[in-house]
Amino acid sequence: MADDVEFSLADYKRRMQGAISVLGDEFAGLRTGRAHPSLLEHIVVEAYGAQMPLNQVGTVSVPESRMLTVQVWDNTQTSAVEKAIRNTSLGLNPIVEGSLLRIPIPELTEERRQELSKVAAQYAEQTKVAVRNVRRDGMDQLKKLEKDSHMGEDEHKAWADDLQKLTDSVIEDIDVTLATKEEEIMQV
């Protein structure tokens, strides 16, 4: 009966890696004192009666190392884009010039660096929770398969051990990624 087991460790690994991928995207949006278009990647603008990603209402570019610009395609949306940028936790203050927003990237103070480190730690913790939820789903599936007599107790224990090892490995990767990002943020 073990041949028809519906448990796939690869599927759970893929889901956990997806959580790490999201963490990487979140970290890309945390600024480190240098202008980069990814800083504005996660900003959502209230436009045309809907929530839209910033890149769907304008073009983000980096004309110089400490400046971002957003060329808004529809002049009527300029104020909505400005408001969305101001309301982020990034501490940016856009300067409006017609349909162009200039966004100077200020030097990071020590206090701001510590705040950004805390935000990075929150992102990492959210990712760990997501990974643990994936593990819980896997453990639930294993229990169900054993209860329904699709696998034996020994097989259940072996799969559970493998799932736990995978979870521990992914959590360790998250910790390493966080340490790297904190080091980058605290770098003067």
CA distance 96 to 186: 30
Q: Please report the pLDDT score of residue 188 as a whole number.
A: 61
pLDDT of residue 2: 43
pLDDT on residue 129: 94
pLDDT given at position 31: 64
Q: Which fold has domain 7-27+109-186?
A: Topoisomerase I; Chain A, domain 4 (1.10.132)
**What CATH number belongs to 34-104?**
3.30.1360.40
CA distance 80 to 82: 5
Q: What is the pLDDT of residue 45?
A: 86
Alpha-carbon span 51 to 87, nearest angstrom: 14
d(CA 67, CA 73): 19
- What DSSP element (H or E) covers 94? none
Residue 168, pLDDT score: 94
pLDDT per position in the chain (188 positions), as tens?
Answer: 344 457 788 899 999 999 999 888 888 777 666 667 777 777 888 888 888 888 888 888 888 877 888 888 888 888 888 888 888 767 778 888 888 888 888 777 788 788 888 888 999 999 999 999 999 999 999 899 888 888 888 888 999 999 999 999 999 999 999 998 888 887 76
pLDDT at position 155: 87
pLDDT at 148: 86
- Domains of the chain: which residue ranges? 7-27+109-186, 34-104
Q: What is the reported pLDDT for 132?
A: 94
Q: What is the pLDDT of residue 34?
A: 67
